[in-house]
Amino acid sequence: MLDRNVITEFYQNRTILLTGVTGFLGQAIAAKILRDLSQIQRLYVLVRSKTGRGGTTLSAMERLEEEFFNSSVLDRFKRSEPDAYQQVRAKVVAVPGDISQHRLGIDDNLYADLQSAVDLVLSVAATVEFDAALDLSIELNTLGPQRILEFIQGCRKEPVLVHVSTAYVNGCRSGSIPEEPLPTDRTIAQLQTNSATDTFDPETEIKSCFDFCIRVRGDASSPRMRRQFENEVRQQNSTRHVSVSRREKLVKGKAHRWIHDQLVSEGMRRAKGHGWNDIYTFTKAMGEQ
């Protein structure tokens, strides 16, 4: 076990960028840093805005306040050391952004400022839903880490990167499995059968997945599918009058659900075919490959 002094010395005056602070693990990491590693210089946290209840938009700072500072993870710290809490809280800066977007969705000027200052990146953000839409999971879990690497490659201080993995990237393998990076040219199914006939290329797989998602979204807006959604709405509301605007909203809802179901079904099919359990483990593993 590392000596506590070694850890505190490592974090002395560090400027950290943390992703995933509103998630379960990200909250715990951020709280631990603030309480036990208060000698840091700054803690930047990447937070995307989101639509809240009633259709209002929560900014990055508002989400940080509501989902981190006001969460129970900090309650003990606030009670036992209120002055220390206020001091380290001032070191936390919300960065509006999104790992699913180009350049992490960060404003260009702020992106450059961060690249000049950051010397430690904690990559925690991911979608952990086992049945999320295939394209969303790829953007977050597979391409998100690549965008983090692109950010780091432009940093002045060559920061340390900590990428949070999951044991589940080992998919359906069983028994004693060494804790080491996955092969970049093999699926779990190929590792299980020791198959060497075909190599696996994550980039080719990603393109194939996106091509499928584009086709599905295109099909959803086709006249044929439009008629199907309209018929379903008409049948479900045959005994009552539905306004034109309401009918259109119901049709769009049908299309949205159909797209989601198609993308989840295809993602699960690909994941299981390659030896992973679900879309989450499949896309997390490809991100690491």
The answer to whether 94 touches 104, Cβ cutoff 8 Å, is no
* Residue 56 DSSP one-character state: P
Q: What are phi and psi of 156, to 5 degrees?
A: -75, -35
Distance CA 158, CA 163 (A): 15
The answer to whether 19 touches 122, Cβ cutoff 8 Å, is yes
H-state helical runs in the chain: 4-11, 24-36, 60-64, 75-80, 82-89, 108-117, 134-137, 143-153, 188-193, 202-220, 223-236, 244-273, 279-288
The answer to whether 250 touches 242, Cβ cutoff 8 Å, is yes
Query: Can you state the angle between helices 244-273 and 202-220, rounded to 10 degrees?
Result: 160
DSSP character string of 154-216: T-TT--EEEE---GGGGTT--S---SSPPPTT--HHHHHHT--SS---HHHHHHHHHHHHHHH
The answer to whether 140 touches 48, Cβ cutoff 8 Å, is no
Q: What is the pLDDT along the chain (289 residues), one digit of tens a residue?
A: 667 889 999 999 999 999 999 999 999 999 999 999 999 999 999 999 988 777 788 899 999 999 999 999 999 999 999 999 999 999 999 999 999 999 999 999 999 999 999 999 999 999 999 999 999 999 999 999 999 999 999 999 999 999 999 888 999 998 998 888 899 999 999 998 886 677 899 999 999 999 999 999 999 999 999 999 999 999 988 888 889 899 999 999 999 999 999 999 999 999 999 999 999 999 999 999 9
State the pTM of this model: 0.90
